[in-house]
Structure 1
């Protein structure tokens, strides 16, 4: 027995997430494409070497360290090493415009930048305007490129650095990560999270996926994980932290190439991924006619999961469900897992729940409220805005008190999402406040129309937007990409006839059927692969 002393003040910090995973599964694999394969023990050593190397170039507590990279093992190392030092990891969205990338890096006041060689030309264009940056480090799978920017290369730095770095016992309220929202209007807004928030988020998500009876899309220590949500986007939804805690095999695909993704799923035995609908659509389109991906479980978020896409995935052997969150919420708020009373439903009935936005995960308090703050009736018709409270929500928009006040009006975080609630408490988003179509005094859900149109066999992808109408204010317009084998064989009238079936079933009103349907080769996307409705409105509102 130890004499004297006082109780140890245990802090919820990311160090404990990494150390448990390494203790539990030291020989487990981490794979990067077909280029790198190492163990959790190697990860642990490399995280220490990275911290030593960063300390040598001036990184200390509070230093903003920016990363511009694809989904790689190196990014995973940064997820731990940077915040575990007490520094702040800025996950730079490499798909933003050059102007917005410059804005976010200046706004964050980044001091050290780790940049994949593919993004070197981009950084070289803006380097003279990045006043706060003191050091650059190149990340590359090949030889060090010629550049005047720096002579520091990631792997060489790690080779020379000490593996004996001692990570401090930080205060759990220490800021760990910084990211920026990806809206289609206005400048990106900074959101940040501390160690305590990230650890609590990790624990709640792990509990949600592993502990409940519905194992349709579970995540446990025998799974193989591959992210298909960019690691720069809200910590890849926080799942790499969950994967590391569980000690699962992790596979990192680098730049997203649909055929390579399918091959990695099969070769490495990937069982769990997460992505936006457009990425899943790309992978399904890259499959051969008789090719299947049995055993692969995919969580869809970022945009509404259309039922048609879900059915196409299931036909290929993929288990699929929905999740929901935002940049401001770390991000996970809901997952569409089945409550006990729903487990006996038929497979067809279960799909109706898996495509809903979902049920709040542990520690999330979620309401759907009207303008007078009254909760909507749980009848799947009464609409309101989703507002939330949880331990892992951003406290503010960085350096933006005005937008922060709007975000936290009434002491609840406002999502800007319009939803309905069913009798079991499941939430189903019907639109963004800015995207709901207000037509002749009626609200028409663009997301509902998209989901119904997506069930037509000719439809590859669909977006619905409201366009100005002199008489009714707005009317819905459907923009459709058809499958190659149906090109020139499907008409506007056929799509309207398809929708009329749902009118007869009472799922939509006749008024909701779009007046106009346009067929296009491609639908514009945002930087994280969501449909860019603002761009569509601009294109078709003339």
Structure 2
């Protein structure tokens, strides 16, 4: 007997999941709450709602309609948040451009996404000047300016952002769209080949928003987030919608603080002045903050910070907790919208001591609501949740990109066997927590055995002289590959830093059975800094290129 489908009444309305409706709730519950940009602008949600309508009206006057693509090049700002709502709610596609792309990558993404209009901050005009003669679809350029001056540029500017809004209607009738309408697109840079475009629908972004709220607000945990929080992103809004958190915090009607360019002094000023309680960033940003001498004198208690993009080493976690920063891990990818897991402590863990909690906070996390996540071996067989069976992480959720833009071959590889393949290696423990142990491309194979670069980094990070660390595999005639640790010492440890001491420190973990003896690095190299990608992750491809010899 087949399952029975609902037969709706002919007059019944099938309410679609649309981004425009996420803004209705705060306009009812908290219309006078504030949205802040640096120390330059403050708006209530009521004013913000009107600006979203004005932006849509202004873009329509420039020829933007359903199916058009509007690109944005800006620092994190209230303007970016306005674009998050206005552009997709019109039925257009929002293209969030990575402002750290090379000229070749930049023009490729602009033309590949078929951008019709580009909103560009004056600071990024030189980037457009270098490629403007190669535009294939761009029709209009809107200038974003904090200085309110006319820049000297060869880029043809059609209108300035605030002037566009000032001359536009304060109301806009956003249409009811099919919830599967494309809402956003952006490009993953990776470390090889041309950037790959991912895309997300209204339905996917709304469901992602609901799932994140459920997990961060609905369950008892160490870092509950709700409408009383003050939110400041420290993950670029061009990168996976700032992890989707601006949609989450807008729906909650929370106070939001957008810092513009990430400058340590401004971030700390806003944190203290606006009483920020919730942020998210990559480990390198957290490392920058906790390493700042000025931070040691500040009260950072009550600041909940989610770390993603790379593993959170236990040493860095402890340094943050020592400063009373309530830090823990989140996990996802550009292809996953992004949130898949969050390292939430279960209620019975809230009374654990700090060392025991750190183990959980640095786990990759528990699957979010509506995330089906498995670890599979090379033959595609699901492995048990025993904390030791390691394989590739594959996922299914309602908000995964359904492919790469105009790239059916890579799309099929991404979705082999109907599961999205993350390219990450890991295990799931008996309590249900995922632990990523490495990227497929970064795992070190020595003498036929795998060594986790992330596990080695986690161990080395606990040495009191270590500020930052990255572990890579380098070619070895006998063993195939051997691990090499690149270490940035703490400033007060540079002069007396001993590479051999780090090797001995790791060897103790091997003696205790935590690490196989073949996992102890052959070499420890003291470096001044570690190469990073455009979104602040460790660039291991560049490291392997530098140290392969």
Cα RMSD after superposing both structures: 1.2
Worse overlay, 34-43 or 141-150 = 141-150
Shift in CA distance, 286/171, structure 1 to aligned 2, threshold 3 Å: same
- 2:320 aligned to 298, 313, 337, which one? 313
Find the partner of 2:108 among 103, 108, 115.
103
Task: Please list the CA deviations of residues 23-62 of structure 1 after superposition, one character each: whole Å capped at 9, or x if unmatched.
Answer: 1110000011100111000100000000000000000001
Name the residue aligned to 2:21. Answer: 16
Secondary structure in structure 2 of the residue aligned to 1:264: helix
The count of aligned residue pairs is 538
Out of 20, 26, 33, the position equivalent to 1:28 is 33
Q: Conserved in 2, the CA contact under 8 Å of 1:261 and 1:283?
A: no
Alignment match, 2:338? 331
- Asked whether the 8 Å contact 1:370–1:385 carries over to 2, the reply is yes
Find the aligned partners of 2:415 and 2:319 in 1 and give their Cα distance: 39
**Shift of the alpha carbon at 1:286?**
2.3
**Partner of 2:146: helix, strand, or coil?**
coil
Partner residue of 1:248 out of 246, 254, 268: 254
- For 1:326 and 1:140, the matched residues in 2 are separated by 31
Aligned-partner Cα distance in 1 for 2:388–2:100: 37
Pair 1:381 & 2:388 matched: yes
Preserved contact between residue 259 and residue 286 of structure 1 (Cα < 8 Å): no
Deviation at 1:75, TM superposition (A): 0.3
Is 1:286 paired with 2:295?
no
SS at match of 2:394: strand
Task: State the 1:500 CA deviation.
Answer: 2.0
Task: Structure 2: state its 5+ residue gaps.
Answer: 1-8
> 1:145 matched to which residue of 2?
151
Q: Deviations over 1:417-442 (max 9, x none)?
A: 00011111111000000000000011
What displacement does 1:113 show?
0.3
Deviations 1:74-127 (A, max 9, x none): 000000000000000000011121211111111101010000000001101101
After superposition, what is the alpha-carbon deviation per residue over 1:367-415, rounded to whole angstroms, capped at 9, x for unaligned?
A: 0000112222333222100000000000111110110110000100000
Shift of 1:161: 0.6
The one of 91, 104, 114 aligned to 2:96 = 91
Q: CA deviation at 1:345?
A: 3.2
Partner of 2:452: 445
Query: Is the 8 Å Cα contact of residues 140 and 158 (structure 2) preserved in structure 1?
Result: no
Please state whether the residue corresponding to 1:187 is helix, strand or coil: coil
Q: 1:340 deviation in Å?
A: 4.3
Determine the structure 1 residue equivalent to 2:279.
273
SS in 1 for 2:131: helix
Q: Is the 8 A contact 1:68 1:119 kept in 2?
A: yes
Q: Deviation per CA, 1:189-213: give whole Å up to 9, x if none.
A: 0000000000000000001000101
> Residue 3 of structure 2 corresponds to which residue in structure 1?
none
Partner of 1:263: 269
User: Is the CA contact 2:183–2:199 (under 8 Å) kept in the aligned structure 1?
Assistant: yes
Question: Aligned match of 1:192 in 191, 199, 210?
Answer: 199
Q: Which residue, out of 510, 518, 535, partners 1:503?
A: 510
In the alignment, the residues of structure 1 paired with residue 340 and residue 237 of structure 2 have an alpha-carbon distance, to the nearest angstrom, of 18
Instruction: Name the residue aligned to 1:58.
Output: 63
Which runs of 5 or more residues in structure 1 are unaligned? Answer: none
C-alpha separation between the residues in 1 aligned to 2:482 and 2:437?
16
Distance 1:410 1:166 in 2: 42
Match runs of 1:491-530 below 5 Å: 491-530=498-537
Provide the secondary structure at the position in 2 that maps to 1:304: coil
Partner residue in 1 for 2:52: 47
CA distance in 2, matches of 1:182, 1:457: 34
Equivalent position of 2:244 in the other structure: 238
Question: Structure 1 CA distance, aligned partners of 2:345 and 2:258?
Answer: 29
The yes-or-no answer on 1:73 pairing with 2:78 is: yes
Q: C-alpha separation between the residues in 2 aligned to 1:413 and 1:151? A: 42
Offset of residue 339 of structure 1: 3.0
Aligned 8 A contact 1:217 1:299 in 2: no
**Aligned-partner SS, 1:106:** helix
Using the alignment, how far apart are the partners of 2:410 and 2:486 within structure 1? 32
Q: Is the 8 A contact 1:182 1:528 kept in 2?
A: no
Runs of 4+ residues deviating >4 angstroms:
none
Aligned equivalents of 1:505 and 1:379: distance in 2? 21
Looking at structure 2, the residues matched to 286 and 169 of structure 1 have their Cα atoms a distance apart, in angstroms, of 49
* Structure-2 residue corresponding to 1:115: 120
Aligned to 1:223: 229
Alpha-carbon separation, structure 2, partners of 1:283 and 1:339? 28
Shift of 1:272: 0.5
Cα pair 1:259 1:283 within 8 Å, conserved: no
Shift of 1:245: 0.1
Deviations 1:501-526 (A, max 9, x none): 22233221121010001111110000
From 455, 473, 486, the equivalent of 2:480 is 473
SS class of match (1:415): strand
Equivalent position SS for 2:142? strand
- Equivalent residues in 2 for 1:390-469, closer than 5 Å: 390-469=397-476
